[in-house]
A = this chain, B = another copy of it.
Amino acid sequence: MATLGKETPPHPPLIGNHSKVIRHTGNFNWHDIPLEAYKETTDTWKGVTRRELSGKRGESQHFHVRYFEIAPGGHSTLERHEHEHVVIPLRGRGEAQFGSYIYRVGFGDVVYVAPNDPHQFRNAGEADEPFGFLCMVNAKRDAPQAADGTGICYICE
């Protein structure tokens, strides 16, 4: 680090609507950012963790940026909602399902999930490392609904 006239700039407070840098400390961990469970435990997801990177600590942009990891053999809930997802994998490989299609995805691919499209993210079967990805969503958004097979078939017709 360097500043104009100083050696080390101050570490800005984590909370508040001021400019800040959240440091990646290596291996997909970030300074002061806790590891969270994906959401309340249900039997519809497995092995998923979340880190809230921007948008929930006083920042005012109209979107949230999160980093998710799915452990080998794990998967997110098969769900649908009105709000969109933009997902960019950074670590490992995984599967992105929307509608009846499954895409193998890896570093740098950009997955857009359109409104109300049932979708699921999974760690590819042969993987031995987490499948990690950035996931951006609108700050104001509706709650997900579980999508069962019927829902999937509905949109596939």
Contacts and interface: CB of A to CB of B under 8 A. Distances in A.
A83 B59 CA distance: 11
A78 interface: no
Given A4-B100, A103-B9, A136-B65, A22 B110 contact: yes
Nearest to A55: B86
B61 A19 contact: no
A3 interface: yes
Count this chain's copies in the assembly: 2
Q: Size band of the A side of the interface?
A: 35 or more
A58 B61 CA distance: 21
Nearest to A5: B100
A63 B114 contact: no
Contacts of A10: 101
A150 B2 CA distance: 21
Contacts of A55: 86
**Residue of A114, A134, A138 with most partner-chain B CB within 10 A:** A114
Contact of A22 (B63, B98, B112): B112
A147 interface: no
Closest 9 CB pairs of A and B: A24-B108, A22-B110, A9-B101, A19-B98, A63-B63, A61-B84, A19-B114, A62-B138, A62-B62
Given A22-B112, A136-B136, 10 more contacts: A3-B102, A4-B101, A19-B114, A22-B110, A23-B109, A61-B63, A61-B136, A62-B138, A63-B63, A90-B90
